[in-house]
Amino acid sequence: MSTIAQQFGMTDALHTLGVKAINDGTSTGKNHFASGEILESFSPVDGQLIAAVKTTTVSDYEKVMQTATEAFKSFKMMPAPQRGEIVRQFGEKLRKNKDALGKLVSYEMGKSLQEGYGEVQEMIDICDFAVGLSRQLHGLTMHSERPGHRMYEQYHPLGIVGIISAFNFPVAVWAWNTALAWICGDVCVWKPSEKTPLCGIACQNIIAEVIKENNLPEGISCLINGDYKVGELLSADKRVPLISATGSTRMGKIVAQTVAGRLGKSLLELGGNNAIIVTPDADIKMTVIGAVFGAVGTAGQRCTSTRRLIIHESIYDKVKDAVTSAYKQLRIGNPLDQNNHVGPLIDKHAVEMYNKALSKVVAEGGKILVEGGVLSGEGYESGCYVKPAIAEAQNSFEIVQHETFAPVLYLLKYSGDVHNSIEIQNGVAQGLSSAIMTNNLREAEAFLSVAGSDCGIANVNIGTSGAEIGGAFGGEKETGGGRESGSDAWKIYMRRQTNTINYTTSLPLAQGIKFDL
């Protein structure tokens, strides 16, 4: 274990979470079985090997699916409030393990320790939400046109829910899905990112304790590890009625086609190209806070990270100076040290994409306002630390039209009224998160209207990044259209059934049709 890891108690954290030098990468609630190749996890914080997992083979995968299928038979019969009690216990385990799991998230993924703790808190929050929801899985009662008939609808569990998650939120997005799927009566098979496999092992170990303590079938929670080939097994499997996939738009299109080809359902949370509109009536101080955190938080590796700042020409220079000045105060370094604002990118490939984006914006005619670059020397040995950069650009630039998963912020200028800025905001293929900074009620309402933002998330006087679990999370267009977490997102994890009951001695037909025998 490296000096940094020892300094911040990673050895104890890994021991608490049951993460060893080599872990089985295929597991269910109690038993572990894997026979694939070794997948090593290196920390972007210091470049050191943390631990390794065995990957899932086709044979291993089949064992997992058989175990999950068998578990569903009994789990679906458990009353929803009792399933909610299981989720409540899981939430309590997370509270006890928040420090250890938060540290692992920070060390394996590279986000700040505060963000690591925040991610575990999201898991706790969704558990609390799901517990209450377990007593509210409601249907509707409708009036029938036929006398002596009653109509209603109800929701039943789907079966096995397949979850494919990304490295940037290695534990929270899984919890968003599983907490709701479990109270709905589904069982889950999770493929975490191959870049953060140890976070998956840790979470599986925590829920395994709850499963064992309640003498429940082990297949309620299953884990498979490996690269995209393992994800392909899950996406193509007819035994999995729902695939929830988080990642790039490119990946999502492949998953969507595969799942649609077998007439399954997919819940997609894909790329974002998020913008903040800054109008002449904006509070500049609030704007700077929202824009800077949105652009550099998690080193720009959130799907809701702020990529574009669309500023009215009358205040453009003022906002530009304020934001570029704020960047001078950023501290880049070990994310486990809470004095630092920005940690590393996930790996060298992400660094390469960052460098290409900066070269591309200049080649297209943009101007660099805050220089980027890769940091080296003491504390930056992993080669994954980069400087958050700012560039002036046009929305029509090809590089601006695409999502770069790194801390690169583009400043765009608009003239005229708020509708012109909304047109720029909507002028990209992605539609996840959006925001407007204004104290003008008419501008705010225009932004939120049917002619306003075309994103799944639209905020007023807060940034694009960060979401509470009470609201449904997701986006439109090439973001995939999925919704997770709060509101009525639970419905996608269940199948809807319409029921009609005739409590008379006659059999009238709908629409007045006569069929006498």
Structure tokens of 275? 């913008």
Q: How far apart are CA 144 and CA 153, in angstroms?
A: 12
CB 54 within 8 A of CB 37: yes
In eight-state DSSP terms, residue 368 is E
- CA of residue 418 relative to chain centroid, distance: 30
Helix 197-213 vs helix 10-17: crossing angle, to nearest 10: 40
Question: Residue 37: is it exposed, middle or buried by C-beta count within 10 angstroms (0-12/13-18/19+)?
Answer: middle
Name the one residue in this structure whose structure tokens are 């690591």. 116
> Which tokens sit at 170?
């290695």
Given the residues 127, 184, 303, 384, the one annotated as active site: 303
What is the Cα gyration radius of the chain? 24
Cα 55 from Cα 60, distance rounded (Å)? 9
Q: Does residue 119 carry a catalytic annotation?
A: no
Long-range contacts of 446-455 (CB under 8 A, 24+ apart): 446/418, 446/419, 446/422, 447/277, 447/418, 447/422, 451/419, 451/422, 452/422, 453/422, 453/425, 453/426, 454/426, 455/274, 455/431, 455/479
The pair of three-digit structure tokens given for residue 225, joined into one six-digit string: 């590890």
Told to judge if 188 belongs to the known catalytic residues of this protein, a careful annotator would answer no
User: At which residue do the structure tokens 């038979």 appear?
Assistant: 73
Length of the chain: 517
Tokens of 258: 């595969």
Pairing label, strands 484-485, 472-473: antiparallel
For residue 99, the tally of other CB atoms under 10 A from its CB is: 17
- Collect all residues with Cβ–Cβ distance below 8 Å to 455 and sequence separation of at least 6: 274, 431, 432, 433, 434, 475, 476, 479
Of the candidates 269, 403, 443, 478, the residue annotated as catalytic is 269
- Cα-based torsion angle of the residue sequence 224, 226, 232, 238 in order, rounded to the nearest 10 degrees: -10
Residues recognised as catalytic: 269, 303
